[in-house]
Amino acid sequence: MSNLPPNPYNNFPGPPHQVNANAVHQTFNHNQQYGQVPQSQLPPGFGGLKQDPNSNSPAHGPASVPQNNVLQNVNNYNQSASSSPAFNQPGMTSLPQGPQMSPMRPPMSVAPNSVPNPLPPAHSVSQPSASPRALPKANPSPTPYNPSYHPPHQINDNAPPLIPSSQMSQPLLNGPLQSQYGPPSSQYPVSSSAYSSPPGGKPPVSGYGQGLPPISKPSGPASLPSQPNVPFSSAPLAGPPRNSPLIPGPPVSGPPTGMQNFSGPLPGPPRQAGMNGPNVSGPQVRPDPVMGLKPVTSAPMGPPGGPPMGPGGAPPVQGFPGQYNNGPSGQPIGPAIGNMGPPSMFSGPQNPPIGSQMPPMGPQSLPPMGQQSLPPMGHQMGPPPGPIIPAGGPPKSNMQNRYPQMAPAPGNYVNNQPPQAPQGNMKQYPQQYSAQGVTQQMGQLSVTKQGFDQLWGHHMVDLLQCKHILPEYPEDPPEIKLCHQFADASNCSPEIFRSTINRIPETNSLLQKSRLPLGILIHPFKDLNNLPVIQCATIVRCRACRTYINPFVYFVDAKRWKCNLCYRVNDLPEEFQYDPVSKSYGDPSRRPEIKSATIEFIAPGEYMLRPPQPAVYLFLFDVSQLARESGYLQVACDTLKANLDSLPGDARTQIGFICYDAHVHYYLMGEGLTRPKEMTVLDIDDVFLPSPESLLVNLSERRELVRELLCVLPARFAGVAANAPACALGAALQAAYKLMAPTGGRITVFQTCLPNVGPGALQPREDPNARSSKDVAHLNPATDFYKRLALDCSGAQISVDLFLLNSQYADLASLSGMSKFSAGTVYHIPLFRATRAWQADQLCRMFTRYLTRKIGFEAVMRVRCTRGITIHTFHGNFFVRSTDLLSLPNVSPDAGFGMQLSIEESLSDLQQVCFQAALLYTSSKGERRIRVHTLALPTASNLTDVLHSADQQCIIGLLSKMAVDRCMTASMGEAREAVMNVAVDALSAFRLSQNLPAGAMSSSLHAPMSLRLLPLYLLALLKKKAFRTGTSTRLDDRVADMCALKLAPLPQLLRAAYPDLYPLHALHDYLPRDEPGEDQEGSDAPDPPRLQLTAERINMNGAYLLDDGESMIMYVCQGVSPAFLSETFGVTAHSQLADELRALPRLPTPTNTLLHAFLDKLNDDRPYPADLLILRDNSPSRTLFTERLIEDRVESAFSYFEFLQHVKNQVK
Amino acid sequence: MAFSFPAFSYIIALILDAFLIFFSIFHVIAFDELKTDYKNPIDQCNSLNPLVLPEYLLHLFINVLFLLSGEWFSLLINIPLILYHLHRYYTRPVMSGPGLYDPTSIMNADVLTVCQREGWIKLAFYLLSFFLYLYGSVITPATLE
């Protein structure tokens, strides 16, 4: 019956895909109609398959009968086989025994049999194509589900219930197929006849061995067809599969002719659905599914023809679910199954598991199908498998298809793919197999186990063997696979919300076993391009825990929803059923709150304790002796003047200035004044404010006065005679606090020296001789003056930002307190001299970004977690006001936060864990807004899953923050030790979970793919300024680096820890090759691969760019070609380059233009452009570059290999 | 005279111990409030910090009395706590006022747990020593007469 629905689809799909296979497939198409068999066949020749499906559905459906006969036969066979194959993984479970056996044999005896394996891959491929459509569904499903579930899915599919969305997507593809189906019923008879004809194929069946037996099982008619089919498919299929399992695509060409016919319809889709998903065209898959399903059933049904169709339809459905959502996946599976069946038959040898599955399929195909079809549950199951497949499937296409939702995810996969690619086929096969089969096989065959591991995404790497471990292009964060129910719910972008472990351990003891830090990183106020903003009278929140309604809530019925954090059932206000977009009433799930995990509300009155504050900016300038020498004031005033009009704010914006040296200077710009008036207060121990009302003035009303002040200010102090250096920062801050306390706002402090008079005076503590000693002292503040001041400011909604432009020790450890606890930021430019143009330029860029970026005032951020999880520690700049509430007087788009989590209760009865960060702030326009981010993560119940779902980048982000804390509370030595132990612990846990030999006992050091970069990043962290020992590091630089680690969002932090190194001498080799249409921006910018940071990668004939976010160093080696030099730098010889060049000349040469385009592209993704430094490899300051080659040994610090050895010896 | 000096020590200790019990109860409640979000950590620290030194001094005073009266057993029981107090105050965060608790670090789950546990343990200890002192104040005069 389900088939009928597909018919509509048939109409749609036919055309596109059909084209491909058309010629060959037409005949096959018939097959398709009959069953997915063709698909199964198709799998071998994927390429062909994809096309086939299309062609099948459309053209052939009705007319191709003649061809169909043959094809049908094939199909029938295929179906039997395919059903097994497709289901193999899932459905096959029922047939486990057969499959297992077969798997073994196939490899042994029949090479051709291997074809089935290829088929599976093909299926996977097809899945990808399907996946796009199915993607949403696919996302959630974990690999584990796949095997067992697929069958159910198929069933479901039959049911038709399959997810409409998936079906929809498929429909086009299916459309043709269905049309075929439509006819198929009529055709079935034909097919049956076809079957009969195929019987001849029986011999082949024997060849298939296991696969055949299943066939025999089916009813007489069925068995016959299946056998004949087998022969057909087997030959073609085997060819391709064996050749290259991975290659399913390529094989297609080879075996294609025969295979294509078969696969054309079936294989393409099924396979895609299964493994490759993405590659295969969506349409094909769908048709296949439909076809496949029916055929599958039909196969068993063989004789009945008509009846089989019904069942068959169901099976296909199952297939789809597995892959994607139920709907689509079921269909694909169906076809896939069909395909699989035949393939397995053929390929038997190739994939033992498949083969085994296949055989079972053949014989059992009917029974399984029936069973599968029966259980509606299948749908649910289906989705999970689908996801699983993607996970397992290394291929990019799969990932993408499956996870279309997650834009980044595809990238990740892609990255991973390279390493996995070789195994891709293997992975795919395992995935296809049923879970049961998998487990059984695992015990028997290590190869099988490997395949399965890959399937599930459980790859591991021997770190000691893998020299080039860094992916050439940045990896995307691992995708999050939620349960089917929320498979297509949009999760929060990993750029905003990221967890160190993407599957939360169910219990604390499991977390302890994994020995990974559990935490989340949030970048809540990130600049976003597409942020849904809604304004409504009542914001829907849980009455118990005040959680905002989000995409992961459960709707009990149309009037009630169940909170996903505390599980209370709440009423839904009437108006929530009104869709503001379509302006109609209906399903609450259409609301933007439910559609987007990141949303912004414009808050009504009850979210305000007082009227929204205006934007108030106060600038504190140090004008002491050292400050005048540095000359920063001119730069700062010029920059401020230039950006006065772009300060965020409205008509109420206020601005004020205070200067301080030994005294505090105020500038009155009140009414009646035509020029700014300076007042100096000599008493710094008990500050008072002269006429406060004219110190902070309305910017729009007094713009001219402000401009004038900014013009005269630098000159005002330039002429002051040198006197004893004295700086009364503390007094100035107290004055600023008094001035700002009634309104709140932002204080910007420019400081150049150690404050040494008045309140908050500090003593120089640093011992310059101990800069490279092992233990670093004085990381903690010398006084709590600045901290208390910050707390006062925080209470008054004032935030303090510090620009430290010191040329000597300024005790940043103490000063940073003013920013740390008031949610400010510390900017540090050591040894600043305005006469150095590049430093002035750097300050100008930094300050411009600071002035013009978005700002949120009087903000609070609350982070809520699912019951059972609590926040242990917060990291970042803020004041913690209660266990889950951060007070952020100002919030900036450049601030990130980290949270360590602890698991207090078992989560084993939960399917997923949610985190919600709600940031309530006042925009610079005086609007109260709430930005809500919601992240949902699945849970994991075993150690392997936990370790394989770790997010190494996020772990580094959290660890760096934890290490900074450890430095403060314990010592640098302990912090370093703790960082090193993270690698040891994580790899020990992995060793335990895999029963690998102990580190010292084996010659290899295994790490899961998900943690393979962990040691590298940890080493980079240890060599960072903040944590390095043995290298002379100024205390202030070290502390500034620590502040940056605490605050920086993850991408910046990672780049600072492990800078990107690009080869510049061959940029033109990395020009984007694709049509510009695809990349919206910078289609002309080259995209060179990253290199590992080791001198091995530095070629004497090259030029390199090292980018750590804050600065870029261009390193030009001696042997670089003169042509490159003249085109890039306009010099003819290497020696003509200056020792330190601070800017890249603009020349009208392609090389130069290309390089500029590349630099611009790199600068696009950071708050402000980085500095550029061009060094020759014989410049005196070349160490600036070479010290960043962190994989090499530096005195007193490990090289990467030594570090691995160290870790290996410690791993227990 | 009715009481010997040891007996007097015990009676004074009994009274002061009652205060210590109140202090530790307050301590426990305060941290519980922090944990359940009822109080702002700045306010809570402002109310807790002034009580830290008085508690330590009261405890020290009791033990000075024991020392002077030669009640070695009671003194011995209290010495670990005195040492703990000294250590605790010596390693307190950098702050300009008296007290132990820093509002910026007190919300850390570890610190919160430690402080709360410390409160309960001290409460138990003071309760037990209350009965000890009660016993002492009854027994000591009897042995003298």
Question: Cβ of B103 and A879 within 8 Å?
Answer: yes
CA dist A695 and A513 (Å) reads 59
Dig out the tokens for A411 from the structure. 């990238």
CA dist A399 and A402 (Å) reads 5
The CA-to-CA distance between both ends of chain B, in Å, stands at 11
In sign, the C-alpha dihedral spanning A1032, A1037, A1041, A1043 is positive
Q: Is residue A1098 left, alpha or beta, with left meaning phi > 0 and alpha meaning psi from -120 to 50?
A: beta
Residue of A nearest to B43 (CA): A881
Using an 8 Å Cβ cutoff, are A268 and A39 in contact? yes
Residue of A nearest to B93 (CA): A784
- Chain B residues with CB inside 8 Å of A885's CB? 37
- Chain A residues with CB inside 8 Å of B102's CB? 784
| Residue from A495, A477, A470 nearest A1089 by CA | A470
Q: Is the pLDDT of residue A265 over 90?
A: no
Helix (H, G, I), strand (E, B) or coil at A521: strand
Q: Is the pLDDT of residue A317 over 70?
A: no
- Chain A CB within 8 Å of residue B113 CB: no
Q: Where are the domains of chain A?
A: 6-132+149-271+279-380, 517-527+854-937, 533-605, 616-766+789-852, 1060-1186
Question: Cβ of A872 and B93 within 8 Å?
Answer: no
Question: Cβ of A872 and B109 within 8 Å?
Answer: yes
**DSSP one-letter string for A281-325:** -HHHHTHHHHHHHHHHHHHHH-SS-HHHHHHHHHHHHHHHHHHSS
- Disruptive mutation site among B38, B94, B106 for chain A (greatest number of A CBs within 10 Å): B94
Q: Is the pLDDT of residue A462 over 50?
A: yes
Using an 8 Å Cβ cutoff, are A533 and A928 in contact? no
Encode pLDDT of A1119-1135 as tens digits: 888 888 888 888 888 88
pLDDT band at A90 (very low <50, low <70, confident <90, very high): very low
Question: Cβ of A882 and B41 within 8 Å?
Answer: yes
| Residue from A56, A49, A117 nearest A81 by CA | A117
CA dist A1056 and A1108 (Å) reads 5
Question: Cβ of A882 and B37 within 8 Å?
Answer: yes
CB nearest B104 (choices: A870, A872, A879): A879
Residue of B nearest to A874 (CA): B108
pLDDT band at A622 (very low <50, low <70, confident <90, very high): very high
User: Which residues, 6+ apart, have CB-to-CB distance to A251 below 8 Å?
Assistant: A44, A45, A46, A115, A118, A122, A239, A240, A241, A243, A244, A259
Question: Cβ of A785 and B37 within 8 Å?
Answer: no
The alpha carbon of A517 is separated from its chain's Cα centroid by a whole number of angstroms, namely 19
Dig out the tokens for B14 from the structure. 């009994």
Helix (H, G, I), strand (E, B) or coil at A222: helix
Question: Cβ of A782 and B94 within 8 Å?
Answer: yes
CA dist A720 and A628 (Å) reads 9
| Residue from A452, A288, A340 nearest A41 by CA | A340
- Disruptive mutation site among B40, B45, B104 for chain A (greatest number of A CBs within 10 Å): B104
Which range, of A411-415, A484-488, A691-695, averages the lowest pLDDT? Answer: A411-415
- The most distant pair of C-alpha atoms in chain A lies apart, rounded to whole Å, by 109
> Which CATH number does A517-527+854-937 carry?
2.60.40.1670
Residue type (1 letter), A899: M
CA dist A304 and A295 (Å) reads 11
CA dihedral A367, A373, A375, A377 (to 10 degrees): 130
CA dihedral A347, A349, A354, A355 (to 10 degrees): 90
**DSSP one-letter string for A837-858:** HHHHHHHHHHHHHHHHS--EEE
Question: Cβ of B104 and A783 within 8 Å?
Answer: no
Higher pLDDT, A496 or A1165: A496
Q: Is the pLDDT of residue A25 over 50?
A: no
pLDDT band at A340 (very low <50, low <70, confident <90, very high): very low
Encode pLDDT of B1-26 as tens digits: 456 888 888 999 999 999 999 999 99
In sign, the C-alpha dihedral spanning A1, A362, A222, A249 is positive
Q: Is the pLDDT of residue A637 over 90?
A: yes
Q: Which residues pair with A659 in a beta bridge?
A: A621, A665
Higher pLDDT, A778 or A112: A778
Q: Mind telling me how many Å the CA of B98 is from chain A's nearest CA? A: 12
Q: Mind telling me how many Å the CA of B16 is from chain A's nearest CA? A: 33
> Which CATH number does A1060-1186 carry?
3.40.20.10
Encode pLDDT of A1064-1101 as tens digits: 888 878 877 654 444 444 457 788 888 888 888 888 88
CB nearest A880 (choices: B93, B94, B107): B107
- Chain A residues with CB inside 8 Å of B37's CB? 882-885
> Which architecture characterizes domain A616-766+789-852 according to CATH?
3-Layer(aba) Sandwich (3.40)
Q: Which residues pair with A914 in a beta bridge?
A: A936
Helix (H, G, I), strand (E, B) or coil at A32: helix
CB nearest A883 (choices: B35, B42, B102): B35
Residue type (1 letter), A736: A
Using an 8 Å Cβ cutoff, are B118 and B99 in contact? no
Looking at residue A716, its pLDDT comes to: 87
Q: Mind telling me how many Å the CA of A789 is from chain B's nearest CA? A: 12
pLDDT band at A1180 (very low <50, low <70, confident <90, very high): confident
Q: How would you class A719 by CB atoms within 10 Å of its CB: exposed for 0-12, middle for 13-18, buried for 19 or more?
A: exposed
Where b means 16+ CB within 10 Å and e means fewer, A988-1000 reads bbbbbbbebeebe
Query: β-strands A664-668, A677-681: how paired?
Result: antiparallel
Question: CA of A945: how far to CAs of A406, A459, A501, A994, B66, in Å?
Answer: 20, 11, 10, 11, 61
Q: Mind telling me how many Å the CA of B48 is from chain A's nearest CA? A: 16
Question: CA of A927: how far to CAs of A607, A814, A857, in Å?
Answer: 11, 35, 10
- Disruptive mutation site among A765, A787, A794, A822 for chain B (greatest number of B CBs within 10 Å): A787
Q: Which residues pair with A1105 in a beta bridge?
A: A1062, A1114
CA dist A613 and A691 (Å) reads 21
pLDDT band at A687 (very low <50, low <70, confident <90, very high): confident
- Chain B residues with CB inside 8 Å of A783's CB? 94, 96
Interface residues on A facing B, Cβ-Cβ cutoff 8 A: 780-785, 787-788, 791, 795, 821, 870-874, 879-885, 902
- Disruptive mutation site among A609, A816, A821, A881 for chain B (greatest number of B CBs within 10 Å): A881
Residue type (1 letter), A29: N
User: Which residues, 6+ apart, have CB-to-CB distance to A400 below 8 Å?
Assistant: A128, A131, A132, A135, A278, A409, A410, A413, A414
Looking at residue A1000, its pLDDT comes to: 57
CA dihedral A997, A1003, A1007, A1009 (to 10 degrees): -130
- Of all residues in chain A, what percent carry a pLDDT higher than 90? 29
Q: Is the pLDDT of residue A694 over 90?
A: no
**DSSP one-letter string for A976-1032:** HHHHHHHHHHHHHHHHHHHTPPPGGGSS--EEEGGGTTHHHHHHHHHTSTTT--SS-
Report the run of H or E that residue A552 belongs to, with start and end: none
Q: Which residues pair with A600 in a beta bridge?
A: A533, A931
Question: Cβ of A881 and B41 within 8 Å?
Answer: yes
Looking at residue A450, its pLDDT comes to: 58
Question: Cβ of B107 and A783 within 8 Å?
Answer: no
pLDDT band at B142 (very low <50, low <70, confident <90, very high): low
Residue type (1 letter), A1026: A
CB nearest B109 (choices: A783, A785, A873): A873
User: Which residues, 6+ apart, have CB-to-CB distance to A1183 below 8 Å?
Assistant: none
Looking at residue A457, its pLDDT comes to: 60
Looking at residue A237, its pLDDT comes to: 36
Dig out the tokens for B101 from the structure. 């608790």
> Which CATH number does A533-605 carry?
2.30.30.380
User: Which residues, 6+ apart, have CB-to-CB distance to A900 below 8 Å?
Assistant: A517, A518, A519, A871, A872, A873, A875, A958, A962
CA dist A713 and A701 (Å) reads 20
Q: Is the pLDDT of residue A165 over 50?
A: no
Where b means 16+ CB within 10 Å and e means fewer, A367-391 reads bbbbbbbbbebbbbbbbbbbbbbbb
CB nearest B94 (choices: A784, A872, A880): A784
Encode pLDDT of A429-454 as tens digits: 333 333 343 344 444 445 555 555 55
CB nearest A783 (choices: B96, B104, B108): B96
Q: Which residue has the tokens 């700062």?
A: A636
For the stretch A683-686, contacts whose Cβ atoms lie closer than 8 Å and that sit 24 or more positions apart, written own/partner, are A684/A728, A684/A730, A684/A731, A684/A757, A684/A758, A684/A759, A685/A731, A685/A758, A685/A759
CA dihedral A565, A568, A573, A577 (to 10 degrees): 60
Question: Cβ of A880 and B34 within 8 Å?
Answer: no
CA dist A916 and A894 (Å) reads 20
Maximum mean pLDDT: which of A71-75, A142-146, A956-960, A1082-1086: A956-960
Question: Cβ of A791 and B42 within 8 Å?
Answer: yes
CA angle A167, A151, A107 (to 5 degrees): 115
**DSSP one-letter string for chain B:** ----HHHHHHHHHHHHHHHHHHHHHHHHHHHHHHHTT-S-HHHHHHHHHHHHHHHHHHHHHHHHHHHHHT-HHHHHHHHHHHHHHHHHHHTPPS-SSSSS--TTTTTSHHHHHHHHHHHHHHHHHHHHHHHHHHHHHHHHHHHH-
pLDDT band at A227 (very low <50, low <70, confident <90, very high): very low
Q: How many CB atoms lie within 10 A of CB A394?
A: 32
Question: Cβ of A784 and B42 within 8 Å?
Answer: no
- Chain A CB within 8 Å of residue B34 CB: yes
Q: Which residue has the tokens 């207060």?
A: A681
Q: Mind telling me how many Å the CA of B58 is from chain A's nearest CA? A: 28
User: Which residues, 6+ apart, have CB-to-CB distance to A281 below 8 Å?
Assistant: A16, A17, A20, A50, A51, A53, A54, A126, A129, A173, A268, A269, A272
pLDDT band at A264 (very low <50, low <70, confident <90, very high): very low
Q: Which residues pair with A664 in a beta bridge?
A: A660, A681
- Chain A residues with CB inside 8 Å of B103's CB? 791, 879
Q: Mind telling me how many Å the CA of A973 is from chain B's nearest CA? A: 19
Chain A neighbours among B 38-97 (CB < 8 Å)? 40-42, 93-96
